[in-house]
């Protein structure tokens, strides 16, 4: 799954509630 698309969907659904999870995913994607 594309991380950017996932993050955009996440922001639409949850705002910044999942920011920590996004940071973890971005960190693991490196």
Q: What is the domain partition of the chain in residue ranges?
A: 1-30
- Report yes or no on whether pTM surpasses 0.85: no
- From CA 15, how far away is CA 19, in angstroms rounded? 8
Q: What pLDDT shows up at residue 23?
A: 82
pLDDT, residue 19, reads 75
Rounded CA-CA distance 3/19 in Å is 13
| Each residue's pLDDT tens digit, 1-30 | 577 887 777 666 655 556 777 788 888 876
> Beta strands of the chain (E only): which ranges?
none
């Amino acid at each position: 799954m594309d991380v950017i698309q996932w993050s955009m969907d996440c922001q639409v659904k949850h705002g910044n509630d999942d920011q920590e999870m996004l940071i973890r995913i971005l960190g693991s994607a490196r």
